[in-house]
Structure 1
Amino acid sequence: MKFTKINQLLVPNVTTPCENTSFIPISHFPDKIHTTPRNPGFHFSTELQDFLQGKQLLFDDLPFPIELIQQHYENGFVSYRPGIAYGQDLFCNRCGNEDSFLFSAFHCARCHSECFYCRKCITMGRISQCTPLVSWIGPEINIITLEHPLKWSGQLSLAQQTASTEVVKVINENREILCWAVCGAGKTEVLFDGIAQAILNGKRVCLATPRTDVVIELVPRMKAAFPHTEVIALYGGSEDRHKFAPLTLSTTHQLLRFYRAFDVVIIDEADAFPYSSEPMLEYAVQHSKKPDASTVYLSATPSPAWQHEVKQGKRHAITIPARYHKRPLPVPTFKWCGNWRKLLKKKQIPAILTKWILNHLSNRKQAFLFIPHVHEAESLVSLLKKLDSRITAVYSEDQNRKEKVTSFRQGEIPILITTTILERGVTVPNIDVAVLGAEDAIFTESALVQISGRVGRSASYPTGDITFFHYGKTKAMIAAKTHIEDMNKEGFKRNLLIGE
């Protein structure tokens, strides 16, 4: 598609074909955004408003005639932005990509010329130099709440209530906060009052997380807590893809479709892959927010940089150093197991690990056994099945992953060998955890803290054993143990914990 300017208005060649007019791709105009003054007498399409509000979409994504969209642009209700900014360097306005290796040129049938497109966000639809991003800039649909939206009847712990009060304050004042809470602290419940206050004030809230399974898990919990509020879930293949609601649950990837949409953005697991290592996702989050939006980050394991900023007073944070059941976090123990990889190649298991396995089988105590890599998990499970045929392994590419996790939850699998894929999100009431090869680089401080956080989460079973089997201690192992011990110390200092 190409455009020209007529009386300072951007006009596409598909609505104004003219042989004597020069049309060029939208990226060739110097403007970063194309808008016109709003015509208060224009009768806008409420269907287009409902579909486009808070979004940045391609013409191909819009089930409306281009003439209707252009009419709304000319009357000041829709804006156009170039998908790919064209200057000395290329820049994708949808995903923030500026890496020249992630742009490719092709002969475009729309603009009939060589046209660059962004490969980084290609899964969201191809965006190129001649494709505009279309956004709604007309009046917003008001959120009307006739009664208090929160219907949760649970009770927060003292630590949760302190954090909840601070979150409400931050949301009311349109500020930013990090909620640094231990694994199993009940972070979701801490958000309830803040979300309710935002909805009462007519604000739109987005709770985003890097992982699809977390979004799916949160949906029934949020719908139960806010039964009279529309709640939608956005992830790959979601049926809610084209909806916009007061409370949106979304993967961080899906936020690439949004632009100045949300008054409150909550990022759960801000330290988790891929959000922690992908600038595109942080870009998506920032552009999905309104300019004066409040932001809440949730994390059990903030990055070292964020931890330093908190300690220096440069980042506003509230800590929850205790779980709701007020028992201390189980602390990992270190056990040397020798060159376990060499033994595995010889189809042998370290004696200390065999003893650990047999002890758990005889005591009928379920356990996770983490191992660095898939091929090692496969080698280990073939040996351990000789001890108990029910022992199995799971990893990200395992087609039966969900079924195995379900079987483990139901007590049908005594020991589940896993890669770091299960370091987060899976809660089983009464288990122990071990890590074989804790010295491997894949087991960062963050990963080891998260793995340790699988133990003792239930009020009925608040204790458990965490064992790091290693072939040499690492800084990450020591840092993880120190992290957990420091949280316990803070919990006792603030009188949030009972017992040792």
Structure 2
Amino acid sequence: MALLETSCSGMPGVIKAQGYHCSYCLNEDQRLFYTYFNHQFQKEITYCRVCIMMTWSTTETYYQPVAIPDAPEQLECHLDFALTAQQNYASRLIVEAVESGGRRLLHAVTGAGKTEMILKGIQTARRLGRNVAIVSPRVDVVKEVYLRMAAYFDADIDVLYEGQSLAYSSRFVICTVPQLYRYMHHFGLLIVDEVDAFPLPMDERLMRCVARAAAADGTMIYLTATPPRALRAAFEKHEVITLPARYHERPLPVPRFKYLSVKSILKGRLAARLERRHSGTLLVFFNDIQVMTAAAVTYQSFKPLTVFAADRSRHDKVEEIRAGKHRIVFTTTILERGFTLAGLDVWVVDSGSFTAECLIQMAGRVDRKREYYDGEVIFFHDGVTLSMQRAVKEIQTMNQTAKRRGWIK
């Protein structure tokens, strides 16, 4: 169990062997190394451009694994409600996995209460002296998970993401995936939340960093509501835990299809529907920022708020949405995950342009809170696609499975 730190000797930051390889971030893309003459060393050196914002990994810098001894800890969990039958079922299987090692894929519907399911697993790992990490590709998820863990546990929790470093002992860490660069075989329990979220599925280097950060005999738990087929295929049947019910034990909202093209929407055909709205907050998802911007102009009399990934004010805007300051929100997929609010309705523009996984996540924003809200999910389209059909079928199948197991009312 070790933390990588810069040193005068040890493992070179960049190694040349049939091409360059970065020891820190595991980059092997030759286009992302740069060679130049360094006056300090009086020779050419090569550095890695991938992790340059975190460290200075070069052919002339070194890293030394610094051992961190085991430190068992009794964590008291402050949970003021009882887990559901499904949550207890998952919690028991996770504890068994922590005690025996190995890996598990937790396929849980949106709003299943995954955070509460992992609490006993974390307690078990820390009692055994194993270091724990909860990681996600998304900063928004890291922030939310930290707030919930800090409320549940009286413990020193390291929080790491770009621009933020709250570090204690590296024994209980919540961070974005790139922050795992600094760890080597360190975590006895490593939980990857939203494992299918961008950019993790299409970046093998990040997945290698996740694997390197885990202890050889440790436990890895992957959490997602929408596992891609390739991810499911990588697990044996007994390694997959399917959780089809939400914690409030109500069925998932099933989307409705409505024929309405982008062209018609930009001509103002949504105005009548918007005028009929008298309560709740509406999220309207777009797959194209230009279309979203044009729609915001078309429907400016309804004062929609727009938010997207490159928006410098997006964090402030999201907080304003949470505070109930905006009733109509035009958004990209930036709010498809990690966003929960009471009284939400969801409309999806040009639904056929999204994957089934995206559509399931968007639909999953509705009726997440314990208090019931009869929200609507509408997929606007100009022709039903296979991805739309797959999304609805998956939602219906999960509802049927949950009903059969007695996990929804």
Normalising by the smaller structure, the TM-score range is over 0.9
C-alpha distance 154-109 of structure 1, shift in aligned 2 (>3 A): farther
Q: Post-superposition shift, 1:252?
A: 0.5
> What corresponds to 1:183 in structure 2?
110
Render the CA deviation track for 1:293-340: whole Å, top value 9, x for unaligned.
Answer: 110010001111123455xx45611111000111100011111113x2
**What's the secondary structure of 2:276's corresponding residue?**
helix
Higher deviation after alignment, 289-298 or 88-97: 88-97
Amino acid paired to 2:393 = T
Q: Aligned AA for 2:190?
A: V
> Hey, what does 1:318 align to over in structure 2?
241
Residue 237 (str. 1) matches residue 172 (str. 2)? no
Query: Which of the residues 294, 299, 313 maps onto 1:384?
Result: 299
Could you say what secondary structure the match of 2:126 adopts? helix
- Structure 2 residue 258 is the aligned partner of structure 1 residue 335: yes
Equivalence for 2:322: 409
Q: Which residue of 2 aligns with 1:466?
A: 377
Equivalent position amino acid for 1:54 in 2? A
Matching residue of 1:162: 89
Among 35, 44, 47, the residue aligned to 1:105: 35
Give deviations 1:207-261, integer Å, cap 9, x for gaps: 111111222222232122111x2211111122325x4332111111111111121
Q: CA separation in 1, counterparts of 2:157 and 2:178?
A: 18
Q: Which has the higher contact order (CA 8 A, sep 6+)?
A: 2
**Count of matched residue pairs:** 409
Q: Deviations over 1:388-410 (max 9, x none)?
A: 2x322111222332333233333
CA–CA distance in 1 between the matches of 2:283 and 2:199?
23
Contact 1:332 1:467 in 2 (8 A): yes
SS state at 1:323 partner: coil
- Looking at structure 2, the residues matched to 176 and 101 of structure 1 have their Cα atoms a distance apart, in angstroms, of 34
**Which residue, 337, 341, 346 being the options, matches 1:433?**
346
Indicate which of 258, 280, 284 corresponds to 2:205.
280
Report deviation, 1:281. 1.5
Q: Which segments of 5 or more consecutive residues in structure 2 lack a partner in the other structure?
A: none
1:55 aligns with 2:30: no
The change in CA–CA distance for 1:88 and 1:400 in structure 2 (over 3 A counts) is: closer
Higher strand proportion, which one? 2
The equivalent residue for 1:372 is 287
Paired residues for 1:123-162 under 5 Å: 123-137=53-67, 140-145=68-73, 147-162=74-89
The equivalent of 2:44 in structure 1 is 114
Q: CA deviation at 1:266?
A: 0.4
Give yes or no for contact 1:149–1:200 (8 Å, CA) kept in 2. no
Describe how 1:188-207 pairs up with structure 2 within 5 A.
188-207=115-134
Q: Give the alignment's TM-score, normalised by structure 2.
A: 0.94
Q: Say whether the 8 Å CA contact 1:432–1:465 is kept in structure 2.
A: yes
- Residue type at the aligned position of 1:239: S
Q: Within 2, Cα distance between the matches of 1:493 and 1:342?
A: 42
Structure 2 contact 112–246 (Cα < 8 Å) conserved: yes
* Counterpart position of 1:83: 13
The counterpart of 1:260, out of the listed 149, 171, 185, is: 185
Distance of 1:148 and 1:99 partners within structure 2? 42
SS at match of 2:164: coil
Secondary structure of the equivalent of 2:351?
coil
Largest Rg, 1 or 2: 1
| Secondary structure, counterpart of 1:250 in structure 2 | strand
- Give the stretch that moved more between structures: 111-120 or 448-457: 111-120
Is contact 1:385–1:392 with CA below 8 Å preserved after alignment? Answer: no
TM (norm. structure 1) is 0.78
Which of the numbers 212, 217, 240 marks the counterpart of 2:139?
A: 212
**Kept in 2: contact 1:178–1:315 (CA 8 A):** no
C-alpha distance in 2 between matches for 1:453 and 1:186: 13
Contact 2:5–2:66 (CA under 8 A) maintained in structure 1? no
Please give the alpha-carbon distance, in whole angstroms, between the structure 1 residues aligned to 2:179 and 2:53. 11
Given that 2:90 and 2:241 are in contact with CA atoms closer than 8 Å, whether structure 1 keeps it comes out as yes
Q: Which amino acid aligns with 2:272?
A: K
Deviation, structure 1 residue 342 = 7.1
Alpha-carbon RMSD: 1.9
Amino acid at match of 2:22: C
Alpha-carbon offset, residue 470 of structure 1: 0.7
1:154-188 CA-to-partner distances (Å, cap 9, x unmatched) read: 21111111000000000111110011100011000
**Aligned amino acid, residue 206 of structure 2:** L
Residues 342-382 of structure 1 deviation map (CA, whole Å, 9 limit, x = unaligned): 763xxx22x2x23322222xx22321001112221111111
